Amino acid sequence: MSTEKQQLARRAGGVSAATAGSRILGLVREQVFAYLFGAGLQMDAFVAAFRIPNLLREFFGEGALSAAFVPAFSKKLSLEGKPSAFFLFNLVGNALVVVLAMIVLLGIVFTPAIVSAIAPGFGKIAGKAELTVNLARLMFPYLVLVALAALTMGVLNSLGHFAWPAFSSSFLNIGMIAAGFALCPFFDPPIVGMAYGVLLGGFLQWAVQMPSLKKEGYRYRPVFSFRHPELLAIAGLIVPALAGIASTEINIFVNTQIASLMPEGAVSYLNYAFRLMHFPLGVFGVALATVSLPALSQKVAAQDLKGVAETARSALGLVFFLNLPASLFLIVAAVPVISVLFQHGRFGPGDTLQTASALQLYALGLLGYSGVRVLAPVFYAFADTKTPVKVGILAVFSNIVLNVSFYKLGLGFRWLAFSASFSAFINFFFLLFLFRKKLPEWEAGPVFRNFLKILLSGLFPALVCWVALAFFYHHHTAELLWQRILVLAVSFLLFSGLYLLFAKLLNVQETDLLVNILRRVAGRFKSD
């Protein structure tokens, strides 16, 4: 087993554990939403309103800005040391705050027009569009806070800190969970309290990372120049990266737009399903992307192309091993998963079935989403932000065509999830093709053979789990919470045990790595 793969696994283990904690809190947050608001008017309004600053966050937060800034910071750190790297951080951070403050002010002014564009169907229901506007205006300043948090995370990752920065995203969920019970009862409508929870969580995301940064010797300096050559160089990389990120966000924009024209609750069902699909994506796909980008950037700076190829191969192998079975399990066990997590309070059995149907189609694309997360940093490390843009535009086009077609055919909101999954695979396969041309040192054969082993290891457990659940639901009902938990637990243990058994029998290398990841998680937290 390669040293590169072991090192990547160790780092990803710490990030995965931290991200898992954050995602678990994210699921608790969604449970709070489901319990308090179900899938009705207030929830639809909040989802659409929060999507606006979230869309911009992808542009100026951990999306385009990180893709351009982290390689530049890593190179500066490697060649000139911390003082020069921290100067660059201060320069970019100060410029970022000024630009985002202006965007926030403009956004607050033009919120009604933005809401009309993103959710045109809301205007047909009394008070729904107005509530969405009010919530979006309250949450707009979150953009500045989360962008600073993402920039700080990129610096800490480049300095070798991964676990704690990854866990910092938990504080957004903590702020919203606390707001659900401590603030919402004092507002009318109660969902307004959640908007203040977003602001609180955004501030905490940034603030909790600063002590680690100060321990590395960082001190804030009010350096400012829009004409500085290094800032201009990063800005030059951000522009095409923005277009690449925009492709993903346009997909979400179109999905929300069409879902708003469908029966009430469609926006909420898609949101609950997407958030749940995002759990394994965040824990494994995003974790691997997080630890890969600084490593890839340093290898590119050292002209170590074989090292770049090995890092990419290791990351893809790990993401296949972890996310392919996650995808299969979410498909076959969608109903017990949704019923355990969300079927409480105002969220009923009918809501469970609707959300589960969307989750199954979102889960189809999990591997595509994860693969893009792993491959895109390779292009960013080479300062190539144009290639992901071109591929992203193709994916957007396919998603829009499918969305409009499904809507006109009257196939229902769940097929919007399918079109998103299909476009994710379009994105992944084209990136993979171009990646092979860009890096001839990369050998596709071993990766493909390993993928087939992993696929075979997961298909039989998925079939067994599907048959067992179909038999159970044909003869029984699980109305009580403990019954639903028992069904989910047995399904998960059956699937996981069979998958690991078959993976071991087929000699999938990542089986041993999984054990190493679990062993090193606690140690990683202590060292970070």
pLDDT, tens digit, for every residue of 467-502? 999 888 877 777 778 888 898 899 999 999 999 899
pTM above 0.75, yes or no: no
Number of domains forming the structure of the chain: 1
Amino acid at 53: P
DSSP SS3 for 122: helix
Q: What pLDDT, in 10s, does the model give residues 37-82?
A: 887 788 889 988 988 887 766 666 555 677 678 778 888 888 888 8
**Which pLDDT score is estimated for 461?**
94
Question: Are the CB atoms for 455 and 304 separated by under 8 Å?
Answer: no
Question: Is the torsion defined by CA of 510, 511, 513, 518 positive or negative?
Answer: positive
358: in domain: no
Distance between CA atoms of residues 405 and 415, nearest Å: 10
Q: Is residue 296 part of a domain?
A: no
pLDDT, mean of residues 452-473: 91
What is the enclosing helix (H) or strand (E) of 500? Answer: helix 481-505
Tokens of 434: 């171009």
Surface-to-core class of residue 109, CB atoms within 10 Å of its CB (0-12 exposed, 13-18 middle, 19+ buried): exposed
Overall average pLDDT of the 204-227 stretch: 89
**238 lies in which domain range?**
41-243
Q: How confident is the model at residue 525 (pLDDT cuts 50, 70, 90)?
A: very low
Count the helix, strand and coil residues of the chain and give each as a percent rounded to the nearest 5: 85, 0, 15
Q: What is the pLDDT of residue 337?
A: 92
Instruction: Assess whether pLDDT exceeds 50 at residue 241.
Output: yes
- Taking residues 420-446, report their average pLDDT: 84
Q: What is the rounded CA–CA span in Å between residue 49 and residue 236?
A: 30
Alpha-carbon distance 420 to 424, whole Å?
A: 6
347-379: per-residue pLDDT in tens?
A: 888 889 999 999 999 999 888 888 887 787 778
Mean pLDDT of 245-259: 70
Q: Is the pLDDT of residue 247 over 70?
A: no
Please report which confidence band the pLDDT of residue 522 belongs to, taking 50, 70 and 90 as the band edges: very low
Q: Give the pLDDT confidence score for residue 249 in this predicted structure.
A: 64
Domain contains 443:
no
What is the tally of helices (H) and strands (E) in the chain? 23, 0
Is residue 376, in this structure, part of any structural domain at all?
Answer: no
Quickly list DSSP for 223-236: ---TT-HHHHHHHH
In eight-state DSSP terms, residue 121 is G
Indicate whether 143 belongs to any domain.
Answer: yes
Q: Identify whether 35 is part of a domain.
A: no
Residue pLDDT, tens place only, 89-133: 999 889 989 989 999 999 999 999 989 888 888 888 888 899 999
Query: What tens digit of pLDDT does each residue of 274-325 get?
Result: 888 877 776 665 555 555 556 666 676 667 777 777 777 777 888 888 889 9
pLDDT > 80? residue 511 = no
Whether residue 258 has pLDDT greater than 60:
yes
DSSP state of 140: T
DSSP 156-218: HHHTT--HHHHHTTHHHHHHHHHHHHHTGGGSSSTTHHHHHHHHHHHHHHHHTTHHHHHHTT-
CA distance 22 to 29: 10
**Distance between CA atoms of residues 66 and 233, nearest Å:** 14
Residue 200 in this model has a pLDDT that exceeds 70: yes
Q: DSSP letters of 362-401?
A: HHTTHHHHHHHHHHHHHHHHTT--HHHHHHHHHHHHHHHH
Mean pLDDT confidence for 169-177? 89
Quick check: is 170 in a domain? Answer: yes
Residue 459 falls inside a structural domain: no
Query: Which amino acid does the sequence have at 490?
Result: V
Mean residue pLDDT across the chain: 82
**pLDDT above 60 (res 143):** yes
Residue 173 near residue 230, CB atoms below 8 Å:
no
Give residue 74's pLDDT. 81
DSSP character string of 9-31: HHHHHHHHHHHHHHHHHHHHHHH
End-to-end CA distance of the chain: 25
Highest mean pLDDT, choosing among 156-170, 387-401, 415-429: 415-429
User: How does pLDDT run across 146-155, given as a tens digit for each residue?
Assistant: 889 888 988 8
Tokens of 119: 């959710």
